[in-house]
Homo-oligomer: A and B are copies of this chain.
Amino acid sequence: VSGRVAIVGAGPGDPELLTLRAVRELERAELVLYDALVSPEVLALAPNAQRFSVGKRAFRPSMRQETIHALMIRAARRGKRVVRLKGGDPFVFGRGGEEVLALRAAGIPYEVVPGISSSVSAPALAGIPVTHRGLAAAFTVVSGHAEAAWRPVLAGIAPRGHTVVVLMGLAARGAIAAFLLERGFAPTTPTALLLAAGTPRAHTWIGPLEALAGFEVPVGLADAPGTIVVGDVVGLSPAALRREAAEGDGEAYAHAR
């Protein structure tokens, strides 16, 4: 039996941002188990594979993690080349670690192919560097999914000199903004909300932290992945500079890649 599993990061959505190794794994795959955030253009690179969505997506039912493990293991034991395809990087909130442990326990050969994490690329595609000399010497990435998880993390971050990146942060934007303001972040701290970054639906909002809670989600984007970025580096985005020039406020800018 020569079955094996590659746990592959698909990056932010644009197939051009796949790694060469990810492309090769997809081309040779016989079975692809993919998450909801993986784009159709990326899936098209595995024309010879059976493709199954095991997709997690906010507010929708998804396959149990144990079921995903069982599917991978069964297919590999039947000799299949399996690709477990995840948006972004498999080890950044992708539960890739849990899948690795399951494969190890089952004795299945596996490898992990890193992908471009949206924690860095979503800001980058909007022209925001997560670090910048004089503005941010560090960045912290946290999930906005559970308040019990993000509160203690955000509580330790100083209001200046550090970039905050919240993945899956759309629904919690009001609570997160309120908490940071309460912790001493200036109401004017430059803030970005990046929806569906790296995809054709990408939408960038830039504004002061105090306006984040009032952001209204555009029609059709309620289920898009939303990345919040808070910190002075957001002011380097071309959209922020245009905004400043226009002296507008609360405006939204469509993101041109």
Interface residues of A (CB under 8 A from B): 11-12, 14-21, 23-24, 89-93, 95-98, 100-101, 104, 112-117, 119-121, 123-125, 127-133, 137-143, 146, 149-150, 152-153, 155-158, 161-162, 233, 236, 238
Contacts of A17 in B (CB 8 A): 19-21, 113-114
Contact A137 B143 (CB under 8 A): yes
> Given B95, B100, B132, which contacts A133 in the complex, CB threshold below 8 Å?
B95
Contacts of A97 in B (CB 8 A): 129, 131-133, 233, 236
In the docked arrangement, what's the CA distance between A139 and B162, Å? 13
Contact B137 A146 (CB under 8 A): yes
A142 to chain B, nearest CB (A): 4
A159 to chain B, nearest CB (A): 11
In the docked arrangement, what's the CA distance between A106 and B170, Å? 36
In the docked arrangement, what's the CA distance between A156 and B154, Å? 9
Contact A158 B158 (CB under 8 A): no
In the docked arrangement, what's the CA distance between A14 and B24, Å? 14
Contacts of A12 in B (CB 8 A): 114
In the docked arrangement, what's the CA distance between A128 and B112, Å? 11
A42 to chain B, nearest CB (A): 11
Of chain B, the residue at the smallest CB distance from A145 is B137
> Given B117, B131, B137, B156, which contacts A157 in the complex, CB threshold below 8 Å?
B156
Contact B19 A18 (CB under 8 A): yes
In the docked arrangement, what's the CA distance between A113 and B198, Å? 12
Of chain B, the residue at the smallest CB distance from A134 is B98
Q: Can you list 20 A-B contacts with CB-CB less than 8 angstroms, sorted by A residue number?
A: A11-B19, A14-B21, A15-B20, A16-B24, A17-B113, A19-B20, A19-B116, A20-B20, A20-B23, A89-B120, A90-B124, A97-B129, A97-B133, A112-B125, A117-B120, A137-B143, A137-B146, A138-B141, A152-B161, A155-B156
In addition to A19-B116, A97-B132, A100-B129, 14 A-B residue pairs with Cβ atoms within 8 Å of each other are A17-B19, A89-B121, A90-B129, A91-B128, A92-B120, A97-B129, A100-B236, A101-B236, A131-B143, A137-B142, A138-B149, A149-B161, A152-B158, A152-B161
Contact B139 A141 (CB under 8 A): yes
